[in-house]
Structure 1
Amino acid sequence: MSASEGAAEATTKAGGVPGPRAGDEGQARAGLPRAYVLWLVGILVSLAGDAVFYFALGWAASKYGGTVAGLTLSAITLPRVLLLLLGGAVSDRVSARRVLITGDAAMLIFSLVLAAVAYSLGAPPLLLIATGVAVGVVDAFYLPASGSMPRRLVPKAQLPRALSLRQVGGQVINIGGAPLAGVLVGLAGFAGAAAVNAVTFAFTLVVLTAVRPRHDVPPAPRSDGLLKEALSGVKVAFSHPVLRPGLWLTGAAAGFLLPVMSLLVPLLAREEQWSAGSAGLVLGAQGVGMVAVTLVVVKRGPLGRPGLLAASALVLAGAGVLGLGLAPGPTAATAAGLLIGVGNGTFSAHIAPLILASSPDTHLSRIQAVLVLVQSVALLLMNNVLGALVDLKGATAIVVACAVMLISIGLAGLTSGPLRNDRTGLVKR
């Protein structure tokens, strides 16, 4: 543990809620460490490669119909969900950086082999499904390690800005990745996409070998077995006074907020007979709202107590979803999309650094594994449940129901004293 982290432990308030320190203000306002910026560049390049590759994988699978396409996507999700907790335990035990380097090296080799095989044989269903399994297994180890790296590279006081910058970069890639992927796949096919992905993994691998964590923590002490260590992450996460409500709020956002934009907006647009362009404007407005909030956090840091703002942001997003469900036309729906984006952006910019900063040093990757697991399970479950309910009750009723759930869960989050009063990342002004 570094000297600054030791001071944080010494000044921790009762209930495990850290208070601001005199040194936090200088840290929070200083520029982000060069090591973090370099790592972030590598991660964003890798995300761009993933955007191209995932589009190519889905496009190739769609040639064989919905069943093969569904199996290919499930082949990624299932091993990821099953192995996430184990992946977090391995990362805490042997070092997140080593896990990331190993994962990038493995995917570099796999992508080169896949490009060669696809160039020779094309993209038969079995190859696509096997590719999904390989990606899902590596993701299960890679995602917890990657999620813990900001805590290892920047001081706690800078986490809100650091994570918001990462979120902005991810949003930009999401916006531009699909058109770029379509062009590349059209020119070079599935084999070309795999080759491009290999190049991005090679770049990220070089970056990771150059980056050295400045705030690294010693490996977690070994217990009787890796499975026990993996389950320890769940126990710690749901017994912690701040992490427990934070994870519940995150699960609620994944289950009742994310499907609104990806699933329910297209269904609502068809039900209300809006054009595809109108639906796109709603999604674009949501993206604008998210980016605007996260840019503010990048510039000035957290906007207030993170737990209080995260819970309040779910209420705000729920109000936007309610406006979307009751919108009389595309113009009002676009305004509602902007409000949803502001709420979603505020939530994401505050809950992520709160969970990462509140995680015990011995469980950084394991808590990230639990976080990804909560999001994945909630999203996987609710996409199917909400889709089935739309067929029964109509899109408008289900959008309004999601709004009610978001507002109710946000208000419930405000009743948690440890979450509401946590001041992680705040500095005296």
Structure 2
Amino acid sequence: MDAVVQEKQVIPILKNRNFLLLFIGSLFSAPGYYVYLIGAEWLMLSLNDNRFYFGMLFFAASIPRLLLLTMGGIVADRYNKRTVLFISDLSRALLIVILLVLLYLDAVSAWHLIGLAALFGIADAFSYPVINSLTPMVLEENQLQRGNSFIQMTMQISPIFGPALGGTLIAVLGFKGVFTVACVMLLAASVTVIFIRLKPEETPIVSSPWEDLKEGYRYARRNRLILSIVSMGFFINFFFTGPYTIGIPIIVKDIFQSSSISLAIVQTAMGVGALIGAIFLASKKLKKPGITMLTSLALLGCIYTSIGMSSYLYLTAVLVAMMAFLLQLINIPITTVLQETTEKRMLGRMMSLLMTVSTGLIPVSYIATSLLIAMGLSILTIIMVSGLVILFIALYNLKNKPLRTLGTS
């Protein structure tokens, strides 16, 4: 009898009201952010010919995100996750309103964009841990890989729909049009998530944030898998994030001599590949997630190196799509296994700690990439070398047992 009652309590993913609201909110939030991002990138490239400022756009967003991610995880564990996500989406919409006002006054400058990027980074620091810790709060453990894949689909529809819409709006309506649409989408996301209903926490909060922080670090130190993932991600993000994020727009504009539509094509290809990867993982349970992850990482390094040798826009777009597919085979298994093995009361802190430490070198990556470009080094050379380093990291970690046996019992 008890078994029958237990079975009835398991709600299918697509009939789970809370998950659907989270899913729909992500459908607005993530593409809205990418619509804003492509507008901000192209506006910066148009305002100033010094590509160092373009690199600073990403550096400014990454610093507050890095410094506040741990606090974001503590907030996610201590307060209502839905409310934190609502405030994050709403604040990003209001930041775009400020940019629109500056555009209408014809007063926007490169430094305004850098300042707004920093404020976006603050909002991101609180939204990232919440999304990753909210999913296991509304789903059963055996639904997590599929649920994470659905959420990742929204994240990957973003680089498809966002840049395509953003690039078209820039060409047709200009910057005011692209930022208006981004603002409306983020407002819609904030309204959607406010209707998520979570059960009250069973245990009242009695510890201080500082004690929560120390408990999180102690928990992480005892977990060999978390330490292995953080160590690997720490270096991979340095060699991947800066060169790719800064490099692709520069390659499109300076090397291919193309327009914002061409940038949208490449970034859309990123979304298409990632979406296919998310759909693949939503329909197939990986038998050996660790081996799949490390093999995908090695292939990622090879393809990343190839991008640095590409001379054609559409070939670059195809390589980017392949790389995005592999990124899903790396990221989703890691997130799913950590959600399955981490105590729910620690989820926010572990997700924020993972992101904080593993992305710790990203600001340095942005600065290093910008400085190398300013010194005259070709972005293509930077990407080729970075790809080879990523390949070496993957091969080296094949002997790392916690990573190799990831997801197997």
After TM superposition, is the score higher than 0.5?
Answer: yes
- After TM superposition, the structure 1 stretch with the greater mean CA deviation from structure 2, 197-206 or 255-264, is 255-264
Match of 1:417 among 384, 401, 408: 401
Match of 2:279 among 290, 295, 301: 295
Equivalent position of 2:365 in the other structure: 382
Match of 1:48 among 31, 38, 41: 31
| Overall identity of the aligned pairs, in % | 21
Please report how far the alpha carbon of residue 297 of structure 1 lies from its aligned counterpart in structure 2 after TM superposition.
0.9
Equivalent position of 2:340 in the other structure: 357
Please report how far the alpha carbon of residue 416 of structure 1 lies from its aligned counterpart in structure 2 after TM superposition.
3.1
Match of 2:151 among 143, 146, 166: 166
- After TM superposition, the structure 1 stretch with the greater mean CA deviation from structure 2, 329-338 or 149-158, is 329-338
- Aligned partner of residue 345 in structure 1, secondary structure: helix
Q: How does 1:39-118 map to 2 (within 5 A)?
A: 39-62=22-45, 64-65=47-48, 66=50, 72-108=57-93, 111-112=96-97, 115=100
Counterparts of 2:106 and 2:311 in 1: how far apart (Å)?
Answer: 52
Please report how far the alpha carbon of residue 128 of structure 1 lies from its aligned counterpart in structure 2 after TM superposition.
4.2
Equivalent position of 2:188 in the other structure: 203
Equivalent position of 2:288 in the other structure: 305
Q: How does 1:30-429 map to 2 (within 5 A)?
A: 31=14, 33-62=16-45, 64-65=47-48, 66=50, 72-108=57-93, 111-112=96-97, 115=100, 119=104, 122-123=107-108, 127-185=112-170, 193=178, 195-213=180-198, 218=202, 221-223=205-207, 225-259=208-242, 261-263=244-246, 288-300=272-284, 302-322=285-305, 339-386=322-369, 398-423=382-407
How has the CA–CA distance of structure 1 residues 42 and 422 changed in structure 2, closer, same or farther, with 3 Å as cutoff? same
Please report how far the alpha carbon of residue 145 of structure 1 lies from its aligned counterpart in structure 2 after TM superposition.
1.4
Counterparts of 1:318 and 1:220 in 2: how far apart (Å)?
Answer: 46
Please report how far the alpha carbon of residue 45 of structure 1 lies from its aligned counterpart in structure 2 after TM superposition.
0.5
How has the CA–CA distance of structure 1 residues 406 and 111 changed in structure 2, closer, same or farther, with 3 Å as cutoff? closer
How has the CA–CA distance of structure 1 residues 311 and 234 changed in structure 2, closer, same or farther, with 3 Å as cutoff? farther
Equivalent position of 1:12 in the other structure: none
Counterparts of 2:175 and 2:312 in 1: how far apart (Å)?
Answer: 40
- After TM superposition, the structure 1 stretch with the greater mean CA deviation from structure 2, 189-198 or 400-409, is 189-198
- Aligned partner of residue 108 in structure 2, secondary structure: coil
Counterparts of 1:127 and 1:383 in 2: how far apart (Å)?
Answer: 19
- Structure 1: 5+ residue stretches without partners: 8-22
> Does the 8 Å CA contact 2:160/2:272 hold for their aligned counterparts?
no
Cα RMSD (Å) of the superposition? 4.4
Equivalent position of 1:15 in the other structure: none
Please report how far the alpha carbon of residue 102 of structure 1 lies from its aligned counterpart in structure 2 after TM superposition.
3.0
> Does the 8 Å CA contact 2:59/2:363 hold for their aligned counterparts?
no
Please report how far the alpha carbon of residue 211 of structure 1 lies from its aligned counterpart in structure 2 after TM superposition.
1.5
- After TM superposition, the structure 1 stretch with the greater mean CA deviation from structure 2, 75-84 or 181-190, is 181-190
Please report how far the alpha carbon of residue 353 of structure 1 lies from its aligned counterpart in structure 2 after TM superposition.
1.7
Name the amino acid aligned to 1:157. N
Counterparts of 1:387 and 1:317 in 2: how far apart (Å)?
Answer: 23
> Does the 8 Å CA contact 2:163/2:264 hold for their aligned counterparts?
no
TM-score (norm 2): 0.77
> Does the 8 Å CA contact 1:94/1:219 hold for their aligned counterparts?
no
Counterparts of 1:270 and 1:53 in 2: how far apart (Å)?
Answer: 18
> Does the 8 Å CA contact 2:77/2:349 hold for their aligned counterparts?
yes
